[in-house]
Amino acid sequence: MTVSMYQASVPAFMRMLDNLSAILTKAEASAEARKIDPSVFVNARLAPDMLPLNRQIQIATDGVKGCAARLAGTEIPSYPDTETTFAELQARVAKTRTFLQSFSPAQIDGSEDKAIVLKFGPRQFDFQGLDYLFGFVIPNFYFHLTTTYAILRHNGVELGKQDFIGGPPPRTVSAD
């Protein structure tokens, strides 16, 4: 069986972005109900040396939009990292989802061996498409989503595993 690079990335990313949006909606409602300034949640972190919630979301969205664009060989849109409210974070998630929807399977499938080069300051990482997706992007994406969930749970937002996972995934039917 061949793995579709598109099916392993774009639909899964969009589904988790939908779950993230629902989690942010619950967090905003929790802040309002508990009369907590929403910026407390947006700036919350689990440890002093970790990034706050807004940065977790910025990094997660940057990762998946960059992934789709790199695998497809298109330009990566630049988003300023200026979100300080739930509304702004929701807009970023929606903008990322819209960007991901612009890709077709034909643009991403077949990118398993595509050379992907990432530069972080003086460091450079060289990947092939398959390793980039499964060994770098997906783990990083879930790390930042999980951290977002944990920050909100730590701050008393009533979330459960089902909020993170969402409903059952849509079934992919083979045309064989």
For the chain, give every domain's residue range. Answer: 5-164
Closest CA to 18 of 77, 79, 97: 97
Span 5-164: which CATH code?
1.20.120.450
Q: Residue 59: its pLDDT value, please?
A: 98
Q: Residue 173: its pLDDT value, please?
A: 53
Enclosing H/E stretch for 16:
helix 5-33
pTM above 0.85, yes or no: yes
For strand 115-120 and strand 123-128, is the pairing parallel, antiparallel, or unpaired? antiparallel
Q: Residue 176: its pLDDT value, please?
A: 47
Q: Residue 170: its pLDDT value, please?
A: 61
Q: Residue 167: its pLDDT value, please?
A: 73
CA distance linking residue 59 with residue 75, whole number of Å = 18
Virtual torsion, Cα 51, 142, 156, 25, nearest 10 deg: 100
Q: Residue 36: its pLDDT value, please?
A: 97
Averaged pLDDT in 10-residue chunks for the chain of 176 residues: 89 97 97 97 97 98 98 97 98 98 97 95 96 98 98 96 82 54
Sequence-distant (6+) residues with CB within 8 A of 22 are: 163, 166
